[in-house]
Amino acid sequence: MSRRRRAAGDLWWKNAVIYCLDVQTFLDSDGDGCGDLAGLTERIDYLDGLGVTCLWLMPFYPSPERDDGYDIVDFYGVDERLGTLGAFVEMVRTAQDRGIRVIVDFVVNHTSHHHPWFQSARKGRDAPFHDFYVWSDEKPDDEPKDVVFPGEERSAWAWDDQARQWYHHRFYTEQPDLNTANPAVRDEIAQIAGFWLALGLAGFRVDAVPFLMEESDRATAGSQEPHELIRDLRAYLTRRRGDAVLLGEVNLPPEKALEYYGETGDELTMAFDFTVNQALYLSLVREDAGPLAKVLKAAPELPDDCQRVNFVRNHDELSLDQLTDDERAEVFAALGPEPDMQLYGRGLRRRLPSMLDGDEQRIRMVYSLMFSLPGTPALFYGEEIGMTENLDIEGRLSVRSPMQWSAERHAGFSPAPAGARLCRPLPADHEATVEGQRREPDSLLNWMERLIRRRKECPELGWGRLELIESPGPVLAHRCDWQDRTVVAVHNFSGTKASVRLPGDGGWERLTDLIDADDHAPGDELELEPYGYRWFRAS
């Protein structure tokens, strides 16, 4: 069977709904103030009810927590605060029983400086793991782009007194970069993937893919083709589990991002669409669909078996680095004007409800748009109830406060005594809770559940091709076509009423409302309320 004609079930990610969470901030089951795997397992039914089909876990490995778990000391273990390997397997089994696949963060571009490999590597050039890392006798010059955390790190090179050499670290000093051009490192990466696949995982979210490639090239120039690393990993996953995915973090312009799927779709299965995400925010602040329409129209076609992943908010700062300086300043001024709302000169450390001043109609329009765009939607925990951030938490962790379950002590996150210290503090305003919104028929949570259900019933959005429909400035109208079926979506970015005429010669005679019960006649003027949105199935 050709790749083009593979069964839909083999490409489950085409119509998935992804939900990202951090185990330590989701639910504390034992009262120590830190979320754990037992707590997550207890909430699998909640995720199932929400409509989640793919659960993405942020790092849960043993770590000194210099970078919220992305500094790893054991790729084969579970942080003892969160549980055991047995608890992990039980969580995966429970998720699978509900039809939810589980993927996890795959962070193989660096380790913690406490990792046994690095501790061995420091002992000298002949040490067993010395070549697992990137060393230099002289400190190379830095490029501005080399430092991921400007203001916190001054250089991507650090001196090690014991090794008497400089080592490369793209992120924090405490995160030495692995030499991914070394075949022994690549073998270890494959073994790590194989270990977790054997425990039931459906794939991995690969951290900072472009940096991973650059490090391969920098470490041993010419000895390994950088993209071979991802191609080999994808082939290995496919041999071990045919439907396993590689979801990549690739924050690059579209033509560059396309390279990471591979010419034949043999590298990344999916990648986050940062270009669309950033254009969305520019359109929001301008109340003009133009910036978003421009990037959607210019998006290159992907290989057949690959997919883009759409999101409103990720777990890091809201990066706006693909915008021009003036465009970024425009978004900053509208959505995060205070210096403590901004980070690294490129992003915002706020969640959407705060940025939009709690305007629920506007919030719903944004999520309606995200779920209606072709690709796979991804949610960050708490988005379904409109959680806000806590700017008192340093840096990008401001959006990673504990999940808000109820009006009980600690917002139902932990049974710890009053006054006990949680893994992170709650936002001052934590009234938005799952329990409270479940009791309100028109709450954001109940609306989101209905929206997700409708999205899963519209495979045209996961499999189809996008075509923009001519519309006035504040309105984005588009159609997705797949197997002689069509879904049309219309969104008003403006705080005033707007109208659009959906063509009567679009190949349809009827437009059936998929969100409410207000069908529309093709060719007639369609009026949208301020920040209004409509989905139709054309027939």
Supply the pLDDT for residue 9. Answer: 53
pLDDT tens profile 303-329: 999 999 999 999 999 999 999 999 999
Supply the pLDDT for residue 269. Answer: 98
Query: Does 4 map to a domain?
Result: no
Q: How confident is the model at residue 220 (pLDDT cuts 50, 70, 90)?
A: low
Supply the pLDDT for residue 213. Answer: 83
Is residue 384 within 8 Å of residue 445, measured between CB atoms? yes
Domain with 484, as residue range(s), is: 465-538
Query: Does 1 map to a domain?
Result: no
The crossing angle, in degrees rounded to 10, of helices 274-286 and 325-335 is 60
**Percent of the chain residues past pLDDT 70, beyond the cut:** 96
Q: Tell me 13's DSSP state.
A: G
Q: Is the pLDDT of residue 85 over 70?
A: yes
Q: Is the pLDDT of residue 219 over 90?
A: no
Same structural domain, 444 and 533: no
pLDDT tens profile 149-202: 999 999 999 999 999 999 999 999 999 999 999 999 999 999 999 999 999 999
Query: Does 175 map to a domain?
Result: no
Q: How confident is the model at residue 332 (pLDDT cuts 50, 70, 90)?
A: very high
Q: What is the mean pLDDT of the chain?
A: 95
pLDDT tens profile 366-393: 999 999 999 999 999 999 999 999 999 9
Supply the pLDDT for residue 8. Answer: 46
Supply the pLDDT for residue 223. Answer: 61
State both tokens at 364.
């719903």
Supply the pLDDT for residue 5. Answer: 39
Query: Is 6 in a helix, a strand, or coil?
Result: coil
Considering Cα of 515, then 516, then 521, then 524, what sign does the dihedral take? negative
Same structural domain, 509 and 533: yes
Q: What is the mean pLDDT of residues 219-232?
A: 76
Q: What is the mean pLDDT of residues 335-352?
A: 98
The strand pairing partners of 196, in sequence order, are none
pLDDT tens profile 22-75: 999 999 999 999 999 999 999 999 999 999 999 999 999 999 999 999 999 999
Is residue 112 within 8 Å of residue 118, measured between CB atoms? yes
**Percent of the chain residues past pLDDT 90, beyond the cut:** 92
Better-scored residue on pLDDT, 314 or 4:
314
Q: Is the pLDDT of residue 531 over 50?
A: yes
Same structural domain, 479 and 523: yes
Considering Cα of 310, then 314, then 318, then 322, what sign does the dihedral take? negative
Supply the pLDDT for residue 144. Answer: 77
Q: What's the gap between Cα 11 and its chain centre?
A: 19
State both tokens at 203.
């794939």
**Number of structural domains the chain divides into:** 3
Query: Does 5 map to a domain?
Result: no
Q: Is the pLDDT of residue 226 over 90?
A: no
Q: Is the pLDDT of residue 4 over 50?
A: no
Range in 122-131, 142-151, 491-500 the model is least confident about: 142-151
Domain boundary among 456, 475, 500: 456
Supply the pLDDT for residue 359. Answer: 98
Q: What's the gap between Cα 69 and its chain centre?
A: 16
Q: What is the mean pLDDT of residues 79-93?
A: 98
What residues act catalytically? Answer: 207, 249
Q: Is the pLDDT of residue 126 over 80?
A: yes
Query: Does 6 map to a domain?
Result: no
Q: How confident is the model at residue 10 (pLDDT cuts 50, 70, 90)?
A: confident
State both tokens at 156.
């991507």
The strand pairing partners of 492, in sequence order, are 475
Domain boundary among 147, 168, 189: 168
Q: What is the mean pLDDT of residues 472-491?
A: 96
Name every residue whose Cβ is closer than 8 Å to that of residue 5 and which is 6 or more positions away in sequence: none
Same structural domain, 99 and 122: no
Core vs surface per residue 89-102: b (16+ CB within 10 A) or e:
eebbebbeeeebbb
Supply the pLDDT for residue 449. Answer: 98
Name every residue whose Cβ is closer than 8 Å to that of residue 242 and which is 6 or more positions away in sequence: 10
Same structural domain, 200 and 231: yes
Domain boundary among 456, 489, 519: 456
Distance CA 79, CA 85 (A): 9
Query: Does 73 map to a domain?
Result: yes
Supply the pLDDT for residue 2. Answer: 38
Q: Is the pLDDT of residue 215 over 80?
A: no
- Among candidate residues 369, 376, 287, 285, the one with its CA nearest the CA of residue 333: 285
pLDDT tens profile 390-447: 999 999 999 999 999 999 999 999 999 999 999 999 999 999 999 999 999 999 999 9
Same structural domain, 247 and 335: yes
Q: What is the pTM of this model?
A: 0.96
Q: Is the pLDDT of residue 3 over 80?
A: no
Q: Is the pLDDT of residue 237 over 50?
A: yes
Same structural domain, 290 and 348: yes
Same structural domain, 478 and 437: no
Supply the CATH number for residue 493's domain.
2.60.40.1180
Is residue 61 within 8 Å of residue 72, measured between CB atoms? yes
Gyration radius (Cα) of the chain, Å: 23
Supply the pLDDT for residue 149. Answer: 94
Same structural domain, 354 and 386: yes
How far, CA to CA in Å, does 379 sit from each of 13, 53, 121, 314?
Answer: 14, 11, 39, 8
